[in-house]
Copies of this chain bind each other. A is one copy, B any other.
Amino acid sequence: MGVTMDGTKQQRRGNTRQRIQDVALELFADQGYEKTSLREIAEHLDVTKAALYYHFKTKEEIIVSLFEDLTKPIEDLIVWGRSQPHTLQTKQEMIRRYSRVLADAEPLFRFMHDNQGTVRDLRIGDIFKDRMRDLRDIFTDPEAPLVDQVRCVSAMFTLHTGMFVMKDMDGDPEERREAVLEVALDLVTQAHEHAGER
Contacts and interface: CB of A to CB of B under 8 A. Distances in A.
B157 A171 contact: no
Contacts of A147: 179, 182-183
Given A32-B118, A116-B113, A179 B150 contact: yes
Interface in A35-70: 35
Interface in A144-161: 145-147, 149-151, 153-154, 157-158, 161
Contacts of A35: 34, 118, 121
A165 interface: yes
Interface in A136-190: 145-147, 149-151, 153-154, 157-158, 161-162, 165-166, 168-169, 171, 175-176, 179-180, 182-183, 186-187, 190
Interface in A90-118: 111, 113-118
A86 interface: no
Contacts of A19: none
A57 B182 CA distance: 48
A interface bracket (residues with beta carbon within 8 Å of B): 35 or more
A17 interface: no
Contacts of A113: 116
Contacts of A158: 150, 154, 157-158
Contacts of A116: 113-116
Contacts of A166: 150, 153
Pairs A-B, 7 closest by C-beta atoms: A114-B117, A147-B179, A146-B179, A32-B117, A154-B158, A157-B161, A150-B179
